[in-house]
A = this chain, B = another copy of it.
Amino acid sequence: MTPRRAIGIDLGGTNIKGGIVDRDGRILHREEMQTGAERGPDPVIDDLAELVRRLGSAAPSPFKGEGRGEGQSGAGVVGVGLATPGPLDLRNGRIIHAANLPGWKDVPIRDALAKKTGLRVTLENDANAAAFGELSSGAGRGCQHMALLTLGTGVGAGVIVDGRLLHGHFDNAAELGHMILVVNGSPCPCGQRGCLERYASADAVVRRVRDEGPREPQVEIVSAADVARRAAEGDATCRRVWDEACLYLAVACVNIQHAYNSQRIILGGGLSLAGDFLLEPVRRHLHEQTWRLHDDVPEVLLAGLGSDAGLVGAGTLALANRE
């Protein structure tokens, strides 16, 4: 079988990551650059096309010329996978709008990049791409049913059902950070109240500790890592906020269990850098919170690919779409 590769790109609000990805989800070559999203879509799409050309020519292809017939660039690659913030219109390959790409509205990015590169482009929401990356070569390997929660500024998510990404009728399934866990709870910028991400994102734990009032300057809390460290050291407020974040994550896991009956739930993003200090209380709360009627509790694991999940997932999605 011909060794197949694709170019994976993760377009973020701050950085663009690109790489050559093989079918096992390995990154054979990589490049990173600033997005400059404030310039608007056109110059950024030009940069993406240049990145695709550089990656294509840098790719160490064992089969010279493979894929050349598909366009002027992309030695040895079967296409491009592009992960971007959403919501997206997948059918038409458009970014509808994106909080991290200010001013970008209804951008036909898939076809624009395909035209500039001569390669087939597969567009996917960044959290979904990350879930597919974890499925391909991370903590979800071998699963048919899994969910990824990325615990960062907010809570992103992607869900795999029967081995495929779940998109739903409006292409916007698995927005699990906006699952309501507290009826009439904390107001969320999305317009809802009591969303999971108001209690269990990296930003939420910092905000919730700060909401408790001023602290001594030497123990200022600026990041979720600070909250975790102070909680481990015994600070009562940090311990309570951290434990509540783990409790809400566990309740979200119960709801994921009953919604999708996933085999695994994978935790990624900034909060997951706390490792076992996050995983152990989430698992403990999950086993306390879940039902006793049936033995269908998902395994909860830390993500395996870190911040490369979106790039890897974009690449493996592009490969999957050519098979």
Contacts and interface: CB of A to CB of B under 8 A. Distances in A.
Interface of A: 87, 96, 143-145, 159, 161, 166-176, 178-183, 188, 190-193, 247-248, 251, 254-255, 258-263, 289-296, 298
Given A166-B260, A167-B261, A178-B291, 12 more contacts: A159-B259, A168-B260, A169-B262, A170-B295, A171-B261, A173-B261, A174-B258, A174-B261, A176-B259, A183-B247, A191-B293, A255-B255
A258 B156 CA distance: 11
Contacts of A191: 290-293
Nearest 5 interchain pairs by C-beta = A168-B261, A191-B292, A170-B296, A169-B263, A173-B261
Contacts of A170: 261, 263, 294-296
Interface hub of A96, A178, A254, A259 (most chain B Cβ within 10 A): A259
A168 B290 contact: no
A262 B168 contact: yes
A231 to B, nearest CB: 19
A248 to B, nearest CB: 7
Contacts of A294: 87, 96, 170, 172
Nearest to A248: B183
A262 to B, nearest CB: 6
A291 B179 contact: no
A254 B188 CA distance: 14
A161 B172 contact: no
B291 A258 contact: no
A295 B172 CA distance: 10
Contacts of A292: 190-191
Nearest to A99: B293
A175 B262 contact: no
A192 B290 contact: yes
Contacts of A172: 261, 294, 296
